[in-house]
Structure 1
Amino acid sequence: MDFVYINHNVLDNVFYIIVSLLMFFVLVDNVKKFKQYRKALLTACMSLPIIFCMKFPIYIDEYCVHDLRQIPVFIGTLYGGWPVGAVLLVIMLTSRFAIYGMNGITLVVYIVIFVATALFSGRFNRFNRKNKLISSVLLTIVLEIFTTYVALWMSDIFVVTEAYIFYFIILPPILMFFMVYIIELLSDAMYIRSKIVKFEKMEVVSQLAASISHEVRNPLTVVKGFMELLKSPNLSLDEKKRYIEHIERELHNAESIISDYLAFAKPAIEKVEPLLIEQEIRNVIDIMKPLAKMSSVTITDNLGQGTVQGNKNYFRQCFLNLIKNAIEAMPNGGELQIVSALEKNKVTVKIVDTGVGMSKEQINRFGEPYYTSKTKGTGLGSMVAVKTIQTMNGKLDIDSILNVGTTITITLPAFITEYKMVQKDSQLKLETEF
């Protein structure tokens, strides 16, 4: 068989069919309404190549005008069943008679193809990919040969030429193999994509639940520490009052965290305000002192003045996580230094511990959800800290040596304001002028 039969007309016909298949899957995948009317869409998409293939045929001679119109008919009937096949048959016959006139052989041949394919459609759709490929090829070969004998029986002038054998008996099964393979490949891709979307949604729910658990644990740990301190018999009334205030504040923080996460689906605009670094970090240190005392960790600080802009709750939660991680990195006790300074237009905060340190891999993966070097942890605290710093247009750097310690450097853009102090009611208040 000479490859001269593969010309631009053949490629055009194949192009019409492939484009129509791709158009079908693109519309089904991206337009929700079409998912409910897949058979109607399949009918519309397969009718286009039927018409185009007949309008621009492969060749015309004195015996036959041939094209690849039977491929869309096969595909539509196999995947859509007899309703789709019946509509495609009507469209095909109407177009055929409109373009070339009435022909009894064409009518009988395609009715036979439609009936046989429609009867096989139900079983075909229950097959796996391999069986679909094999059965579609075998069905096409059998029907093409059978209808050829029908045409020879019906007409004395019908001639089976070499070109006819190639275009009507050899080429269609080959094309059916590739078309069915493309359909199955795209169908599997859509199915896997839908499963991935569902999995990602479940993963978000899982991360949200784990994150709530992790973030609420921080204030509860602080509450536990102050409760232990309240058991001391030598506490003064003022100390007890101060500890109870810390407990109330942390319980309120836990409630706020839960409220924030419950509002995750409909997040409100975050409240952004100027934050005094010295004041905010000192509040965090006061909260973490009971945990540090329980872990035999000494906290020292050298906090300089500086102002940044951000959300107060997120900022405090960020440094709570970082300081808590530093304390937990010193299971046998140690020293934790916290230093802040204003340098030009940047505010720098350093958290230095004498703990177990971090490897290069741990440093590179710091902030990834569910990655943690602790035996009990989720890694979400570090993720929240890194995300908060990024939101504030800041930068977090880690310098660590195993079994020596870790230095975390947070650099944030300074919020430039002009301050003046005024005396009112014997109290010093800070006024900000923009």
Structure 2
Amino acid sequence: MTSTSHFLVNLVGILILLVIVQFWLNRLHQNQIVTEIVMGFSLSATVVLCMLYPFQINDGITFNLRFIPFVLGCLYSHKITSMWLTFLIICLRLMHGLEVSWFPCVSLLIFFLITTKLKPFYNNLPMVKKIIFSGVLMLFMSIWIIVGDKLLFHVPITIELFFSYSVFQSFGILLVVYIMESNKEKQSLLDKIIRMEKVEVVSHLAASISHEVRNPLTTTRGFLQLLNESKAIPEVEKSYLTVAMQELDQAERIIRDYLTFAKPAPEEIESLNLKKEIERTINIIVPLANMNIVELSSELESCYIKGNAGLFQQGLVNLLKNGIEAMPSGGTLSIVGTVEKTLAKVSITDNGVGMTDLQIKRLGEPYFSTKEIRGTGLGMMVAFRIIESMNGTIKVESEPGKGTRITLSFPLNTSG
């Protein structure tokens, strides 16, 4: 009875951990440091709970589910948190004496090194493969511990014990990772729906007022142009007219960006040579790069995709412009175009200021900009809309102070 209650304590501790971790990971405006502290505390409390309440399988042999929060910490939290968990488990294990604890402690260090080394590979896996990977990893850890106990301490390991120990650990991590990943997938879908709803509002707004606003702007600019050409107005006062026309041009550009959303898909679809289109866009952006002491480098592979040349150039210009502006002290902007199976991929990499995870999540939202008062957020919003209308996807990877990589993926046009 005691063993069963202790097992339930282990299980409840892990379930509470899941609830807390998911709550903090799904918050849109959470502070990364606070999130890591909460995760570290939750994982630590679960580890302590599991180790304080071990349960028996048979023949007086006990174990607990501490490896589940340990693996979760290594795969989902910061390296410092996983190091702390390793240290905590070793300290608690050493309370049983060095003679019986040295092997579990050494094994834990090995598991820590293996798991953290495999973490980047794990993060790039799809959901199903993540679940399988975690189960195989836990099975390996279970076999390692059982074989070590058998060879080093002559623990009587039966088939039943081996099966029970492996199943408890492996099935536990499979279930936990499944819940984590399915919740993450649902949250990602919810974020996408929210972003699409915001874009839809902008789209309706653009369709309803853009033409009405554009007409008086055009008329006003025409009269200002005539006044600017008049000889009766002093040159000093003409400078005011020039500023006024520049501001009207800026307003017209913003409206043109809005109009991109009024059209869900480009009117003219054609086969585009990706290499040539990118080279044309680079030629457009070269003057801005020179002004900001930014070196442009490109390595492009020729292939064909479907889309509208004008819109594709507009979206690409916005992305390149953002990359240049992210390097106020100069740097290198790299554009690489490759073909991978059925996809054409374009990677735009800068070594600028970078972005936080929260900024990456909000990228492409209406009115959200990393440039603070200098940006409207419309440029990235336009780029996202254009890429999506071409059945493409955008992946953003960034780290503050180290730069950003934006990867565009498009289906290949094999008939091009």
User: TM-score, length-normalised on structure 2?
Assistant: 0.45
| Structure whose CA Rg is larger | 1
User: TM-score, length-normalised on structure 1?
Assistant: 0.43
